[in-house]
Amino acid sequence: MVAAVLILLGAAVFGFAQIKPFGDESIDRSQPAMLKSVRDLSQYHAAAGEFQVVLDIENDVKWVPAALAGERTLFVAAGSVNAFVDLGTLKDDGLILSPDGRTVELRVPKPQLDKPNLHHDRSYVFSQERGLINDLQALAGPPDQQRFYVAAEAKLTEAAQKSEILKRAEDNTRVMLTGMLQGLGFQVKVVGD
């Protein structure tokens, strides 16, 4: 009998929550974004890589059973990393014109990796196991997921460094600059560092 009453009570509460007799409305009172500054860039973004990583992060409390305290989270992170070349260094010794004015000696600057751009619409907590104490703490407020995003950025940067993206950016920059200079009538001699 008690079980039947609890089931009916649960169904009533769940049904009431689904009906929303008072309705709900989302109102956005945010101010428009304001441009704070503009800066000139001399970067050529020559290659981009799309990456995905599954983080498995566990916070273990020593000498306490996992059922009471601790947390293990599987976080799926997706993002992109751009490889760019700073063309501002060409003004130093990157372009040297021959005395006859027909040949340009080109030294392509080394490519660099931009900060990873996490795709928030494709990054999410896949699963999370928490101890009782952690569950009670979660009731006090929304969980802090910032540490997962920071760890994901580090993993995406590491993956980009091990990939071919830097080599591809260097090759693409060389092809772009060579084509542009040849289009201006110069013969191009590419010099390696």
Answer whether residue 161 is part of any domain: yes
Answer whether residue 33 is part of any domain: no
**Three-state secondary-structure class, residue 80:** strand
**Three-state secondary-structure class, residue 129:** strand
pLDDT means over runs of 10, the chain (193 residues): 60 55 76 84 90 86 69 89 89 82 88 93 83 62 78 94 95 91 89 68
Cβ(8)–Cβ(52) under 8 Å? no
The predicted pLDDT at position 155 comes to 94
Cα 63 to Cα 52, 69, 70, 137, distances in angstroms: 34, 10, 11, 19
At residue 88, φ and ψ (nearest 5 deg) are: -65, -25
The predicted pLDDT at position 122 comes to 92
Tokens representing 47 are 């290659």
Answer whether residue 108 is part of any domain: yes
The predicted pLDDT at position 65 comes to 66
Answer whether residue 94 is part of any domain: yes
Domain of residue 172 covers 39-190
The predicted pLDDT at position 126 comes to 84
Answer whether residue 47 is part of any domain: yes
Into how many domains does the chain fold? 1
Q: Where are the alpha helices (DSSP H) in the chain?
A: 2-19, 132-139, 146-162, 165-183
Answer whether residue 26 is part of any domain: no
The predicted pLDDT at position 52 comes to 95
**Three-state secondary-structure class, residue 53:** strand
Answer whether residue 31 is part of any domain: no
Answer whether residue 46 is part of any domain: yes
